[in-house]
Structure 1
Amino acid sequence: MTRQPPPGERRSANEGPKAAARNRAALVAAAREIYAESGLRAPLSAIAKRAGVGQAVLYRHFPDRSALVFAVLEENVGQIERAAQSVGLADVVGVLTWHQTESAAFVGMLHSEGVGSHAEVPSYAAELSRRVERALRLRLPDGHRLAARSEDLMIAVSMVSGAVTGPTREQREHRATAAWRLLGVEVGPVRPFTG
């Protein structure tokens, strides 16, 4: 027997692809939050619950844990790349800093270049790290202190990532911006890129 909605309540229409896109975005956002709070081994059920969907929906979009981690990291890097196409270096560094303060997984990915030969570092992490470097170099002016040697830029990024500690987002952001300042790098607004 099919349950009829009570009087005055409308049954929601099947939104198809719109709901799928919305569910995927909610899962990625929830995963970012949960990973920041509990690390990459957090239960997938907690991510589904935070996103407001069932685990079946999670698995429909992300067949395993690594696919979800990759989706979060890919979104982070994509924002940095889009920022590098349209804003100056200080603003790109602000976007990078936001992701550093929001995501331990992102910080780990940025450190993957130096350990890319180790089996525990997925190859996609090293590639994402290289994409961040390319994006930053798009806005790095000739003669900038971080352009002196090829490895200087990502060493600076790793140094700042190492400073991103503290129990609150505000503390992590304060330490990250202080580290950039000590390196002589201007930081624009620390926020995600929405453009």
Structure 2
Amino acid sequence: MSALWEQAPTFVGVAVGALLSFVLSTVADRTRWRRDVAIRWDPQRMTVYAEYAFAVREMYEIVLAVAIRHGYGQGSSRPVVPGTNTALAEADADRAARFEAVLLIGNPQTVAAARRWHQALWHLACFAQGRLTGHLEWSAAMREFGEARVEYYRAARRDLGIAGGLPRTSTPAWKTALTQQTAQPLGSVTPE
């Protein structure tokens, strides 16, 4: 019996070592599995985030084209054509479908930022459709839209593990001048 007591520390050491080995192996396997899952989903998340952003941008372009009818905005790359309200509804349906994918695989922060971005877009759409008015309010809604866009991209980049922030941009002088020229009524002459 005393020989058994003499070997007890050895048995305890072996048992503790086995348990520790099992725990460390399990933790390592779980960490590897999480990393593999993240690597597997990153390309899909990036695609979903980019497609959603493109859908919001498409709807934004239509909103700007419609808003010109009510005297808002300084121009759009889209011409104002009949049926633009139908195009706006179709663009919103496409945006909504792409938002479902963001809901499915996006992290909570990116989902919240995406929701804020499209709500800011809806705010602009209300001006474009004549349901809201006021140039100061329009300008505030445009700022809100821009801030929500930046917030969305920051959240998406964080979720994808992309380091660094978005660079600050400004409108180049030539574009400001061009926008001011196109805002003048047709047939007006710009002084030399």
Alignment TM-score > 0.5, same fold = no
**Structure of higher CA gyration radius:** 2
TM-score normalised over the length of structure 1: 0.29
Structure with greater proportional helix content = 2
TM-score normalised over the length of structure 2: 0.29
